[in-house]
Chains A and B, each alone.
Chain A
């Protein structure tokens, strides 16, 4: 049973460019969340996708957008990259639970993005 996978593992871009990061959730999971983790900080919630729609969003500008496909995989797109976008981008998946908020998430290894 494969866990959460992310690609690529590392990426170098220059300011102003656009980037797309990909995530495949753990088998049986239908909800994907994305996080940004700057060096020495905790992960910051970007947004969550369920049923191919953005369900919740953190405090990130519109330059950050996403998509979820019918197979539950997801993409994170960042436009007009800034130096401050350099970070580890983490994807996490879980099975949506309409009842009790049991929120155990499974994280992927992350994509490390460096913006020059």
Chain B
């Protein structure tokens, strides 16, 4: 079953613009993570935000978490062609140790 739901399903933007992806989830979480996947290959962990945190930064990435709305957003600033990939949010609940992924957002950076 899917816990997270990313929005939009697909996004195309011009190189240099900012890209924002959203994730909504259903049950209380311990932490939320964002991953990137290039062309159906292995996933790369981008950032983890704990339930008691509201915002985290890593390079050009900014993640926010709103536990009252059960939602998170991933912002990629100054996008590059190499950012073209699928992005997944994944949640870990307090109930168990499983990581549950959403269906992903397919991001395409136009030259």
Q: How many angstroms from the CA of A87 to the CA of B107 in the assembled complex?
A: 21
- Contact B33 A110, beta carbon cutoff 8 Å: no
Chain B contact residue count (CB 8 A cutoff): 26
Number of interface residues of A (CB under 8 A): 30
- Known contacts A101-B97, A102-B48; A42 and B104 CB within 8 A of each other: yes
Partner of B45, one of A40, A106, A110, A112: A106
Determine whether the beta carbon of A110 is less than 8 Å from that of B98: no
Residues of B within 8 A of A44 (CB): 101
CB atoms of A104 and B43 under 8 A apart: no
Q: A42-B2, A88-B40 are in contact. Are A103 and B103 (CB under 8 A)?
A: no
| Chain B residues in the interface with A (C-beta under 8 A) | 1-2, 4, 30-31, 33, 35, 40-45, 48, 88, 90, 92, 96-104
Chain A residues engaging chain B, CB cutoff 8 angstroms = 4, 33, 35, 37, 39-45, 48, 55-56, 58-59, 88, 90, 92, 101-110, 112
